[in-house]
Amino acid sequence: EDKVVQSPLSLVVHEGDTVTLNCSYEVTNFRSLLWYKQEKKAPTFLFMLTSSGIEKKSGRLSSILDKKELFSILNITATQTGDSAIYLCAVCLSNTGKLIFGQGTTLQVKP
Amino acid sequence: SQTIHQWPATLVQPVGSPLSLECTVEGTSNPNLYWYRQAAGRGLQLLFYSVGIGQISSEVPQNLSASRPQDRQFILSSKKLLLSDSGFYLCAWSDREVYYEQYFGPGTRLTVT
C-alpha cells in the first residue's frame, strides 16, 4: 500500500529558530514529491521535487529530495509567526497522477 | 489566471439529510478535478477524481458520490449524511499535462449533527 509519513506531527518553536520537517514515503510509482502550506483554509503550493539532491529554495524555505532513502525535508530558517501552519507533504504517482498525502506537521511559531 | 471556487464555505447538516457541494474552475480548459476530505488533525484523503465530463473515479467506498456535468464543474453529493462525513472538503484542479501540480479551492467545512 502506498504510504507517506510526516514527522514530527506537531512542533512549537520561537521566532528566529530554524526548523526541519520530514517526509518519508513508500510508493510503487513515484513521479514527484510536493510540499504544501495550509493555514486557515486551502493548502498553497510550495515546492515540487522530482530529482534527488537538487535543493529548491524560496526565501527562507528550502527543500530537498533523497530518492535512494525515500525521504524529503523542508527547512524553514529564521521562523516568523506567519510561518505557523500545517505543512503537508504529498507524493504524486506516475501511473495515475494521484497525490498521496502525509498526515501533516502542525508548526506553531511563538513570538 | 486560473481560479477555483467552492461553496458553501461552511455547512451544518443533520444526519440523514442530503448533501451537495459545488466546485467550479475558471481560466482553464479540460482540467483534472479532485475531491479531498480532511478530518481534524489529519492529512488529505482523495475521494474522487475526474479527467473529463462524466468520467469519475472513486477512491474510497462511502456514501458519497461525485459528478462532472460540465468541463469545469465538479459536484460532491450524498443522499443521506452520516456523522462520520463531517470534515473539511477540498476541491482541487490540475492541468491535464502538468497533472502533478494540484491547486486547491477554499474548502467547505461540513459538520453533521
Please provide the average confidence, as pLDDT, over all residues in chain A: 93
Alpha carbon of B22: minimum distance to chain A alpha carbons (Å): 15
- Residue of A33, A49, A98, A108 to mutate for B, most B C-beta atoms under 10 A: A98
Q: Among positive and negative, which fits the CA dihedral A26, A27, A30, A34?
A: negative
* B45, closest residue in chain A (CA to CA): A101
Walking along chain A (111 residues) 10 residues at a time, the average pLDDT comes out as 94 97 95 92 89 92 95 97 96 84 95 94
Say which DSSP state B60 is in. Answer: S
d(CA B99, CA B101): 6
Alpha carbon of A60: minimum distance to chain B alpha carbons (Å): 22
- pLDDT tens, B21-55? 999 999 988 999 999 999 876 788 899 999 899 99
In this predicted structure, what is the pLDDT of residue B61?
65
Which residues of chain B are within 8 Å of residue A6 when distances are taken between CB atoms?
43
In this predicted structure, what is the pLDDT of residue B96?
78
